[in-house]
Structure 1
Amino acid sequence: MSARRPRARAVLAPLGAALAAGAAVAFVRAVDPNEPGHYPTCPFLMLTGFYCPGCGGLRAVHALAHGDPVSALGLNPLVVAAVPVLALVWGRWTVRSWRGEPFNGKAVRPVYVWAFLALMIVFWIMRNVPFGEFLAP
C-alpha cells in the first residue's frame, strides 16, 4: 500500500491540470463567446486589426464542447489540431509521473516545440493575407 501512495501523489499535478482544463472548457461551454460582452476582445486584433493565432479559439472550444468540430475548424483550426496533441502530452506526463520519471524539458523534444512555433507563425501570417482568408475566424 505504501508503494501506491507515492504514485497516487505523483499524478496529482497532471490530474489537477486536467481538472483545471476541464473546468475552463465547462465554463466556455456554458458562457457563449459568440455573445458580446462575455469575454474581452483580443487585444492584438483591437490594436492592429489583424487576427492573432488565438483569435476564434474560445469560439472553437465552445463549438468543440458542443460537439461541433466542423464549426470549430472554421473558427480556429490550430486550436482544434492542438487538442489531440495536448491530450497526448498530458497522457505522457501522467504516465511518466505514475512511473516516477521526471517530466522535464527533455520529455518533449525541442524540435517539436520549434516546429509548433513555426507552424503558429505561418498560421498567424496566412490568416491575415487575402489567399489565406479561409483561416480567419
Structure 2
Amino acid sequence: MKINKLYSILLIATIAGYSYLFYKINHSESSHLSVCIIKNVTGYACPSCGTTRAVQLLLQGKLLESLLLNPFGIIVAILMLLVPFWITFDIITKKETFFNFYKKTETVIRKKPIAIVLIILVLLNWIWNIYKQL
C-alpha cells in the first residue's frame, strides 16, 4: 500500500471513530444503534463488539472493566490517540516514520507463528464476547 493511501484511510477511520464515539457518549441512553453487521445478521457478537463501550469505560478511568468488556478497546484507544499525531508529524516533517513502522509491523504479523497466535487471540475474544452475550 502506498503511503498516501494508508495515511488517508487511517485518518478517515480515526475521524469516523471519534465521531462515532462522540455520538455514543452523547446519546448513550437513547441510542440502540449497532453498526456490527455480524451481530445485526446473526444475532451473535463479533470479536470487536463492545469496543466502543470499552473505550468509553477507559475514558471514565475504568481500566479493568474496559479490559473485561473487550480488550480491543484499549488497543483501539491507543491507536486513536497515537495515529493522527504520528501521521501529522510525518506530514509536517516530510518523513515516513509511521509508514516504516507499519511496514515492519506488517512483516512481523505475516510470519506464520505470530499470525496463528493473533488469530487464536481474536477467536478467544470472539468466544468471550459470545459467552458474555454482548
In which range does the TM-score fall when normalised by the shorter chain?
A: 0.5 to 0.7
1:66 deviates by 3.0
Partner of 1:45 in structure 2?
A: 39
Shift of 1:27: 1.9
- 1:59-101 deviations in whole A, cap 9, x for unaligned? 2122233332222212111121332244333332222112112
Residue 83 (1) aligns with residue 81 (2)? no
Corresponding position of 1:57: 51
TM-score (ref. length: structure 2):
0.59
When Rg is computed on C-alpha atoms for both structures, the one with the higher figure is 1
Check the 8 A contact 1:61/1:72 in 2, yes or no: yes
CA-CA distance at 1:19 after TM superposition:
8.2
Segment of structure 1 superposing worse, 59-68 or 115-124: 115-124
Q: Partner amino acid for 2:59?
A: A
In 2, the alpha carbon distance for the partners of 1:61 and 1:73 equals 9
TM-score by length of 1: 0.58
Root mean square deviation of aligned Cα: 3.8
Q: What SS does the corresponding residue of 1:67 show, helix, strand or coil?
A: coil
By percentage of residues, which structure has more helix? 2
Comparing 107-116 and 70-79, the one that deviates more: 107-116
Give the SS at the match of 1:127: helix
> Are the counterparts in 2 of residues 53 and 120 from structure 1 also a CA contact under 8 Å?
no
> Number of residues paired by the alignment?
119
Q: 2:107 aligns with which of 106, 111, 134?
A: 111
Does structure 2 retain, via aligned residues, the 8 Å contact 1:51–1:127? no
Aligned to 1:24: 20
Return closer, same or farther for 1:123/1:46 CA change in 2, 3 Å cut-off: farther
Q: CA deviation at 1:117?
A: 6.7
Find the residue that maps to 2:39 and give its secondary structure. helix
**Structure 1 residues 118, 84: closer, same or farther in 2, change over 3 A?**
farther
In structure 2, what is the Cα distance between the partners aligned to 1:133 and 1:38? Answer: 18
The residue that corresponds to 1:97 in the other structure is 91
Tell me how far 1:127 sits from its aligned partner.
3.2
Question: Which runs of 5 or more structure 2 residues have no equivalent in the other structure?
Answer: 1-7
* One-letter amino acid of the counterpart of residue 98, structure 1: I
8 Å CA contact retained: 1:63, 1:71: yes
